[in-house]
Amino acid sequence: MKEKIDQLFENEAQLPKISSVVSKVMEMVGKPDVVIADLAKEISKDPGLTAAVIKLSNSAYFRPAKPVKTVQESLMTLGIKTVQEIILLNETKGILKKELKGYQVDGESNWIHSLIVAELAKRIAVQKKLKVDKDVVFTAGLLHNIGKVILAEFFPTVLMQFRTELQTYQGPYTDLEAKFFGYTHQETGAKLLEKWNFPEELIEVARYYTEPEKATQFPELVSIVHIANCIVILGGMGIDIGGLKFPLSSKALQNVGVTEGDLQMYYTLLPEMAKHIEELISV
């Protein structure tokens, strides 16, 4: 199976893609000297993306200080990083909303799970006053389990076999994934983000969000997303065939400085966050 996944990534025509405009925007945003006018011009090359940016910018979720009528106004009102967040939301929606049949998660549930993990991760970073970019945290949370989309879409038969054995399997979930696929869904997600030329911090989150103690470059960011994912799963949002097989890492709690009281508080925020997310997905 490992060879088949390698072949899939070599013949990337079949893989989910992001548009050339979005790739260029991601590259531009990563530069400290990016000019808003140039960024607006690049985004405006894609009429569909332009419409989506303006529409989402005016949503109750982002709450602009005044109505946004152009991409440049969106960039100036909400900021470059928030507009990047909006672009990625629009671009990944079609990918993350795919039904994960083998994982027993419908598309809408997976999309909402990804959004709430992203939202909670950002709130954790702000509440703990961590020195990480809250917009990067949101994006990392949004994309953390994207590898499941690849395994579910391209290898449904193997995933069904995996699911059958998982019912009686007592070892680590990731070990069983590696046995059946040659890669875990985390490794698969990391490979996809590498193909998209996404930043290293997002790749490391995708690769280690269930095993944050293995993160070496961005352990704090990986730990934030790990904690957010565990809490959202515990809340029953987007829970899949793995159930609660990913234990909350004490190392992650230590990395972020999260206490038992913090965990309880985050859990109580889930209903309010779900309502907040509804404002986004209703647009």
- The full length of the chain comes to 283
Tokens representing 65 are 């200080």
Which tens digits make up the pLDDT trace of 36-45?
999 999 999 9
pLDDT at 280 over 90: no
Could you tell me the pTM of the whole model?
A: 0.92
Residue of higher predicted confidence among 241 and 22? 22
* Predicted pLDDT of residue 195: 92
pLDDT at 120 over 90: yes
* Mean predicted confidence (pLDDT) in 213-228: 97
Residue of higher predicted confidence among 136 and 244? 136
CB count within 10 Å of CB 123 equals: 19
pLDDT at 244 over 70: no
Query: String of b and e for 230-249 (b: at least 16 CB within 10 Å)?
Result: bbbbebebbbbbbeebbebb
Per cent of the chain over pLDDT 90 is 61
> Residue 83's pLDDT band (boundaries 50, 70, 90)?
very high
CATH superfamily of 1-10+94-282: Hypothetical protein af1432 (1.10.3210.10)
pLDDT at 1 over 80: yes
Which tens digits make up the pLDDT trace of 159-207?
889 888 888 888 878 888 899 999 999 999 999 999 998 999 999 999 9
* Mean predicted confidence (pLDDT) in 210-218: 96
> Residue 101's pLDDT band (boundaries 50, 70, 90)?
confident
DSSP state of 167: T
Q: Which amino acid is at 273?
A: M
Phi, psi (degrees; rounded to nearest 5) at 18: -115, 150
pLDDT at 245 over 70: no
* Predicted pLDDT of residue 160: 87
Domain boundaries, the chain: 1-10+94-282
Pick from 198, 210, 154: nearest CA to 9? 154
* Predicted pLDDT of residue 127: 96
pLDDT at 262 over 80: yes
pLDDT at 219 over 80: yes
What is the SS3 assignment for 157?
helix
Angle in degrees, 0-180, between the axes of helices 219-234 and 134-143, rounded to the nearest 10? 50
Which tens digits make up the pLDDT trace of 127-171?
999 989 888 999 999 999 999 999 999 998 998 898 888 888 888
> Residue 100's pLDDT band (boundaries 50, 70, 90)?
confident
Span of 205-209, 270-274, 275-279 with lowest mean pLDDT: 275-279
Average pLDDT, the chain: 91
Give the max Cα distance, the chain: 57
